Every structure is written in C-alpha cells, then in structure tokens.
Amino acid sequence: MRHNKKLNHLSRKTAHRKSMLSNMATSLIMHKRIFTTTAKAKALRREIEPIITLSKEDTTASRRLAFKFLQDKRAVTELFQVVAQKVADRPGGYTRIIKTGYRLGDNAQMCFIELVDFNESMLKTKVDRKARTRRSSKKKSEEKAGATEVKTEKIESKVAEPKAKAAEAVESKTAEPEAETVEAAESKTTEPEAEEATESTETTESKVAEPKAKAVKATESDAVEPKAEAVESPADSKAKTAEAPAEPTEGKTEEQAAQEDESKQE
C-alpha cells in the first residue's frame, strides 16, 4: 500500500530523478521559463523554491548549499545576483505553473513553469474579477450595510450633541459682551441723532404754525368787526333819537313839556 508516500518517483531511480530535477532547476534559473509535463513541474517546484529562499542571504554557506543541488557555477551566480534581487520582497511562491494542454502521442498533460517576478506582462495586467453572488446574499449584504449605517449615525449623533452644546455655550458667552458693546455704541450714536431730529421737527412745526395762526387771527378779526357793527347799530340809533329831542327841551318850561306829552299820548 502507498500510504503517506508524497514523493513522486516519476518512474525513475533516485539518481536519475535527482539529476533530472537539478538540470531542470538550472534551466529555469537561466531561462526563467521552461515547458514540461505537469508532474515534473510540480516535483521541480518542491525542489527549486527552497533554493530561491537561500539566495536571499548572500553568504558562503548558502552558496555552497545551492551549488550542492544545482552543480552549476553560472546558475549559482545568476541565482544570487539577479533572481535574489527580484524576489527580495516576496515571501514564498516564486514559481507559477500554467497548463497548456495535452501532448500528442501519449496524451500527457503539458504546462510551463516560470518565475513570477520575471513575467512583466502578468505583473502589469491585473484583472479585477467580480465575485458572483446570489440574490439572497445581496439582500443580506444590503441589510447589514443599512444596519451599520444606522449604528454609525447613532454614534455620530451621540458624539456630536455634546460638541454642539459646548460650541453653543462658547458662542453665547462670546456673543453676550459683543451684543452689549454694540447696544451701547448704538445708543450713544442714536441719542444725539434723536435729539437733533426732535429739535428740527419742533422748529419746522413752529415755523409752519406761526403763519397759520396769524392767518386764522386775521380772518377771525375781519369776521367779528362787521358783526359788532351790526349789533351796535340799533342801540346807537335809539341813543341818537333820544339825544336829539332832548336838546331843544332844555330852554322850555315844565308846563310846555307836560302839554307836549299829553298831545303825544292822545
């Protein structure tokens, strides 16, 4: 039984398999991409990635360990000088396997394995794929978003209330003395203006009222004089008639006067 046996022997003996993977690793480091079967590419990835991790520390020990597996000085210098600089910020996952189809003849599954940081076209073009979701999940997500918005609004209102109260208190404190100063200044400016306005109105009213009063007095005096003449005229006439006959009677005697009275009565 083949329980817990993860190593793929690739239908080869140990020496043959190790030399084949060493040659494939050297070709990958030098050319950055090789075409092979999927089984061999997976076996190679298991061997090459620890070697690339060793290249991040450029020491004699790490170079000797890399040379022990690769058995090629040119591949070791390429690994430590070129590849190590590219993969310095990547924490593992230095290779990529892409399947290309099936081989004619034995119908074996083919692929190519490459170093990720050396494929510039794949690094530049990153496709943003939209995740497929169901209608029910959309409703749930909308409900969750609404709930979170309500919670945030409540929190913001609670936080904003004390801030608004403090701001109003500060504004009221600053506004009161300003209002007092403004009122004092306005009162000072309005008092002389009001006095001047009242004085001017009084003078204009007095100027207008004087000729009116004179005209009214003149009309009243003109109307009163003829009435007084009309009222006094009968009295004056009686007085004149009484005074006129009294003048000749001064030289007559009393007897003559009595006779004249009798004659008048008859």
Residue 52 domain-assigned (yes or no): yes
Place of tokens 């100063």: 181
Cα dihedral sign, 92-95-96-97: negative
Q: How confident is the model at residue 87 (pLDDT cuts 50, 70, 90)?
A: very high
Average pLDDT over residues 86-91: 93
Expressed as residue numbers, the domain containing 82 is 14-120
Residue 235 domain-assigned (yes or no): no
Residue 33 domain-assigned (yes or no): yes
* CATH number of the domain within which 86 lies: 3.90.1030.10
**Which range has the worst mean pLDDT, 15-19, 240-244, 250-254?**
240-244
Query: pLDDT tens digit string along 202-251?
Result: 666 666 666 666 666 666 666 555 554 544 545 455 555 445 444 444 44
Residue 244 domain-assigned (yes or no): no
Count of structural domains, the chain = 1
Nearest to 111, CA basis, from 46, 47, 34: 34
Residue 41 domain-assigned (yes or no): yes
- Report the half-sphere exposure of 91 (CA within 13 A, side-chain side): 0
Query: pLDDT tens digit string along 93-104?
Result: 999 999 999 999
Residue 65 domain-assigned (yes or no): yes
Query: pLDDT tens digit string along 156-214?
Result: 777 777 777 777 877 777 766 666 766 766 666 666 665 666 676 666 666 666 666 66
Percent residues over pLDDT 70 in the chain: 65
Question: What size, in residues, is the chain?
Answer: 266
As a whole number of angstroms, the distance between CA 74 and CA 7 comes to: 29
As a whole number of angstroms, the distance between CA 139 and CA 49 comes to: 44
Residue 43 domain-assigned (yes or no): yes
pTM: 0.47
Residue 19 domain-assigned (yes or no): yes
Q: Where are the alpha helices (DSSP H) in 73-117?
A: 73-78, 84-86
